[in-house]
Amino acid sequence: MAKNKLLMNKKTADTEFVKQIAQQTPEEALKTLHSSLDGLSSTEAKERLEKNGLNEVATKKHNTKLHFFIESFFTPFTMVLLLLATVSLFTDYVFVPADQKDLSTVIIMITMIIISGLTSFIQNVKTNDAVEDLLNMVSVTTNIRRNKKDKEISTKQVVVGDIINIHAGDMVPADIRLLQTKDLFCSSSSLNGESTPVEKIATKKPDQKDMDQYLDYPDVIYQGTTIVSGSGVGVVLATGEQTVFGRLAKDISNNDVKETNFDVGIKNISKLLLTMTAIIAPLVLIINGLTKGNWLNALLFAIATAVGLTPEMLPVIVTSNLVKGSLEMSKHGTIVKKMNSIQNFGAADILCTDKTGTLTQNKVVLERHYNLNMKENPQVLRLAYLNSYFQTGMHDLMDQAIIDAASDELDVEEIKHDYTKVDEIPFDFKRRRMSVVVKRHGDGRILVTKGAAEEMLACCNRVQVGNHISDLTDEYKEKVLKHIEDLNKDGLRVVLLAYQNNPAQAGEFNVSDEKDLILTGFLAFLDPPKDDVKDVLKQLKQDGITVKILTGDNATVTKSVASRVGLNTEYVYSEKDFVDKGEEEIKKMVEECSLFVKLSPEYKAKIIQILKENGH
């Protein structure tokens, strides 16, 4: 089987373990991980830490000062100079009479080597130390349960089986199987590219048909995930390099840096000089020796010719330019840890980027608030504001977008004065909708519901078109779904809005009251591109750099964003499109396509690796 085919299709043992844990009950998961709700004892935690190591992701080995010294002084070109300086030492000083001894050539060559090497060495050490100092200033802790007590410890000390307490604002320190959750919503945009927070439920197992989508398991959260709201308790199932994030970091860390055209050029010049010296110097020696008869003078002249062929100042010039480049980049807020990275950066011909938060603002905005005639309508925005403002559950990015839009277009102070909250029916993952009941002073109550299309259509039996209310027919449902499809093609996420006047009495509201609603409008949201992205991508194209999007988001939204910023949208491939493909076909697909969607972090790394194998 072709190498790339194996690369794209293999399943790691760690992924299979996550699947096993996700399908177990919380009690079974605790048993599998040899833990309990009381947490590990200090002794157990110490033993596991010694066995599995610190909870750290893989990084490149820290370069020592000796490494920087060797790297700075022992380059191919300086080795040529050092060789010639050694030869000159013998021919100009050791083997000549005292009155003819001359070290000027040797001194010049050694001086050039020292200046070039020291400049590179000092710059690399200074920037490396600056980066290390910044990293050492960061201290991250995690709230865990040890010895039946909750405590804060360094995230590095977290081990498999630890019981973790998570709350809004936390960054998940390891891969965790959830045991208890309360209105827990999290964002995994760093892993799957999805900007919208999703609910996690400890007691909900993944569907069998979705087992391959392990990043979407409702009862598992992964290292690097951000907790948006709610709280939960979980047991650690993987730490360090065994986490999804850690395996990705390890793969990237193990990849050797490819030689740039600059590096190859320097090596080729060195080889050329050595070749010319090896050919010309002997010829000069032979011709001079045969024609003049003085073989000693012929030898000295041949060595002088070899020295003359070598541009001694070249290492200093190269190093000085690299230092100047690093200083210029530092003025723009970029620390150059290794000067050779400037060469790598300049030699790039493909830039692989995520979509969410990189090309886009990672900030959802309410792009449109349409009535059922697909016209902007302030009443739709007013109802949406009542729903989002008065709820006490999770205010996600969409709720904030509604509140922001209403603050710009409506008199929200008047709305807050005129209405009081009566009750609410919180969002849950199964219903995929939430409702708020409010009362207007001197008027009756109104129940306002917003949610996903299918779930909303299931609880509506009427529609409001203008001021006219009529029955919701199957034909009209198809019309609504067609409108949603059209909005999705524009890269918009759509939520439906409905209401009911004078619902059941206060204090009696529950999920069963979400029925016989009146469908009234569409709320369409967009994660817009950053203002300067289009110009930046245009400049990259002019510089000969091809941009490819690697995201976990869906094809429709990604294609819309790509169109807005001027990227090629002819080909769009997902992770599933690579299944059962041969090596050459995969290489062709990766080359021709600029948009890769629904990718796991591992597949992003694999695509980058294939691009490198293709010579980029």
Provide Rg for the chain, Cα atoms: 33
Q: Are strands 350-353 and 226-238 parallel, antiparallel or unpaired?
A: unpaired
Count of CB atoms within 10 A of residue 409's CB? Answer: 15
**397-409 helix and 378-390 helix, angle to the nearest 10 degrees:** 130
H or E stretch covering 83: helix 76-89
Nearest 5°: the CA angle 574, 576, 577 is 70
Residue that is written with structure tokens 């569409």 in the block? 522
Q: Which residues contact 551 (CB under 8 A, 6 or more apart)?
A: 193, 354, 355, 356, 558, 596, 597, 599
Unique residue bearing structure tokens 């490396």: 128
Instruction: Find the catalytic residue in 92, 219, 354, 513.
Output: 354
Contact 238, 159 (CB under 8 A): no
The answer to whether the beta carbons of residues 179 and 218 sit under 8 Å apart is no
d(CA 321, CA 301): 34
User: In this structure, which amino acid lies at residue 14?
Assistant: D
Token code pair at residue 64: 């020592």
- For 369: left if phi > 0, alpha if psi spans -120 to 50, otherwise beta; the answer is beta
The question of whether 490 is a catalytic residue gets the answer no
Enter the tokens of residue 316: 């200093």
Enzyme catalytic residues:
354
